[in-house]
Structure 1
Amino acid sequence: MLADPRLRKLSFTGSTPVGRLLLQQSGARVLRTSMELGGNAPFLVFDDADLDLAVREAMIAKMRLGGQSCVGANRFLVQEGIADAFAAAMGEQMAAIRVGPPDREDTGLGPLADHRAVDKVRHLVEDAVARGAVVAGTADIPDGPGHYAAPTVLDHVPADAAIMHEEVFGPVAAIHRFSTEAEAIAVANNTEHGLASYVMTSHIDCARRVAARLQAGMVGINRGLVSEVAAPFGGVKQSGLGREGGPEGLHEYQQLKYLSMPGFNT
Structure 2
Amino acid sequence: MNAIYKSEAGREAIGARYRELLRQWPVPAEQLHIPTREGDTFVVASGPADAPPVIALHGSGGNSATWRADITSWAQDFRVYAVDIVGEPGGSAESRPELGSDALAHWLDDVLAGLGISGSAAFIGMSLGGWIALDYAIRRPDRVGKLVLYCPAGIGKQKFGWIFRNMVDHLFSNHDLRRTAAIVTGLSATDHTEVLDDVALTFTHFNPRMGKLPIFTDAELSALKMPVLVIVGADDRMFKSAETAARAERSIPDATTRVLPGVGHAIFDQTDAVLHFLQK
TM-score normalized by the length of structure 2: 0.26
User: Which of 1 and 2 has greater Rg?
Assistant: 1
TM-score, scaled to structure 1: 0.27
